[in-house]
A = this chain, B = another copy of it.
């Protein structure tokens, strides 16, 4: 028998292995937005379906994703909201510790200041006087704790549900953190439709870390 200790560490390593490949990380990013079929995931990431399927199998083996059959397709989703949090934390660390990642991120996303993010303190001060706060994460993560009073419209439903949002009032959108692009996309969409929208600087973890209140403690 291989020692139980070795088995435990091998199991831990399975999680790391799942996060050790750019394609899989991209899949996780898409899955973090909601359930998707293999085909949709392949389209979103530009991979072949056979490869997408193989990588999804790895993610499943590592306990990060689960699937269910729905008619002729198989739909995958994150096994646990904590998966999205872990991935986001890893990204945050990479951004903080690896200068070349920081540089490449700037090249890819442009200057984040272009969308005029709202600082956390500014939002905290304005929470009382009726600014609309929009949480674009999937419901499971919203349920795990959100900014008090925030409205939850997941990023992939936003286009359908624009009528729920007011015109003429400031809308502040947020999601998981600095590398969660959903809030930036949301702001762009909202502006294109004539809303007054700005992203929050950082996501829920940064908000919490600054000592601001959320509805429920972290899981």
Chain A interfacial positions (CB closer than 8 Å to B): 3-22, 25-26, 62-64, 79-80, 82-83, 85-86, 89-94, 96-98, 100-101, 104-105, 107-108, 205, 208-211, 217-219
Contacts and interface: CB of A to CB of B under 8 A. Distances in A.
A92 B11 CA distance: 11
Interface of A is mostly: helix
B13 A21 contact: yes
A135 B168 CA distance: 51
* Chain multiplicity (copies): 2
A93 B100 CA distance: 29
A104 B11 contact: yes
Contacts of A205: 218
A212 B92 CA distance: 26
Given A98-B63, A101-B8, A104-B7, A19 B22 contact: no
A98 B97 CA distance: 29
Nearest to A29: B9
A84 to B, nearest CB: 11
A47 to B, nearest CB: 12
A93 B14 CA distance: 11
A104 B5 CA distance: 7
A151 B92 CA distance: 30
Contact of A16 (B3, B25, B85): B25
B25 A19 contact: no
B4 A104 contact: yes
Contacts of A92: 82
Contacts of A22: 6, 9-10, 12-13
Contact of A208 (B3, B90, B217): B217
